[in-house]
A and B are shown apart, each in its own frame.
Chain A
């Protein structure tokens, strides 16, 4: 399994990386950790003629908070996400999700930016980003723009990212202190993509839900932001009847493929089960 031939570039700045992408157009691909791209290149499902390795661009690393927004550089690895004290404190769901991705070796190398830019519906971070209302900072020849994670995914491997753009950072609004959260993922084994997974963010006041966001992984062509399911739960006490209705609303928007992870009907049901479990755990964690 040897990848096809390519020319390797290691730019030192975002501007240089963009210039290379502009020069080589569709033939070029950014390389982050390579843990989605290299397997695809080995299978010759991807055969870029130019690889633009972003590892030399120092500005793309690091986690910081400014006001009520946390910014995570695209080249921050999953292991760095797991190890970040700031994220563990303010956005613990990110650590919980990262720990469910692949295995330790892959998490040392795979990046948050690569995970969200990849466009593979099996990736776990995209649905989480939608749940957190994150936005992506995209830099191109005409400057930078921000695109909401909820508008970014168009179809499997098709995203709003233009060929000459790179994703430089992810911006996440800091959730309210005392919020409840959970990412529940069903997988067959360590290192497997989700059969189905659900991300939940919740705030409670006086026993009722004051805000709720839900998104689902790997049960459609894109991550699915389950807006209706969340609005059904808003203002409820998470009583059984309401949860049942919300789960049904979430299941209704799924369109999973039948594959080695199970038939479509099963995966839809599992998305519902993951959501129910995530809601329960998020509610237990929520204060207020």
Chain B
């Protein structure tokens, strides 16, 4: 086959409007990493299982390896690059991952944080079970999840104006 026209794709990524012409088969993860140089979203499995490529698309958590960039035309998209506070300090979730040792190698972290971000928007005070179900599409090969759950609990407490008591394991 030949001569397939490139498509114009416009979206708002981390608050900035971008437009590019892409091959229709361009996956959203490749669009972000290779066209826009936004390398926070990682490619772990390429098979929709690991969640390392998770980004926020129109308020939903999605696996950007399993969408075409064309499907996100017109969308509002946020990646981990948008997570820090405007003054450059860490957001509650980032602080939680740091304080609770929610990461070791850090490969899963951008996906975990983006998933947790939407989870907390939808459910500001999740139970431990709800957190575990909420991040069940994100795999971590290092931490055993305990401290990731605590990191999210820490962030939920902080966002609710409370203090999280437990220590990291």
Contacts and interface: CB of A to CB of B under 8 A. Distances in A.
A161 B160 CA distance: 50
A49 B136 contact: no
Interface string B47-73: 111010010000011110011101101
B8 to A, nearest CB: 11
Given A6-B25, A103-B137, A79 B60 contact: yes
A1 B53 CA distance: 14
B136 A108 contact: no
A204 interface: no
A5 B4 CA distance: 8
Contacts of A49: 1
| Most A CB within 10 A of own CB, among B4, B49, B51, B134 | B49
Contacts of A7: 4-5, 24
Interface in B9-50: 23-25, 27, 46-49
B7 interface: yes
Interface in A5-61: 5-8, 10, 31, 34-35, 38-39, 41-42, 49, 51, 53, 55
How large, as a class, is the contact surface on chain B? 20 to 34
Contacts of A190: 136-137
Contact of B47 (A2, A8, A39): A39
Given A5-B4, A6-B4, A8-B7, A106 B63 contact: yes
A174 interface: no
B1 A53 contact: no
Given A5-B1, A104-B136, A191-B136, A34 B71 contact: yes
| Most A CB within 10 A of own CB, among B5, B48, B62, B136 | B48
Contacts of B24: 5-8, 51
A233 B39 CA distance: 57
How large, as a class, is the contact surface on chain A? 20 to 34
Contacts of A42: 46-47
A24 to B, nearest CB: 13
B115 interface: yes
B111 to A, nearest CB: 9
Interface string A190-203: 11000000000000
Contact of A105 (B23, B27, B63): B63
A109 B136 contact: no
Given A5-B1, A106-B137, A55 B71 contact: yes
A8 B68 contact: yes
B78 to A, nearest CB: 14
A102 interface: yes
Interface string A103-116: 11110110000000
A192 B133 CA distance: 14
B59 to A, nearest CB: 9
Contact of A38 (B4, B23, B66): B66
A241 B22 CA distance: 63
Nearest to A35: B66
A102 B137 contact: yes
Nearest to A43: B47
Contacts of B60: 79, 108-109
Closest 9 CB pairs of A and B: A103-B137, A8-B24, A108-B60, A190-B136, A105-B137, A1-B46, A3-B25, A105-B63, A105-B61
26 contacts: A2-B27, A3-B27, A5-B4, A6-B24, A8-B68, A8-B70, A34-B68, A38-B68, A39-B48, A41-B25, A42-B47, A51-B24, A55-B71, A104-B115, A104-B133, A104-B137, A105-B51, A105-B62, A105-B115, A106-B63, A106-B137, A108-B60, A109-B66, A109-B67, A190-B137, A191-B136
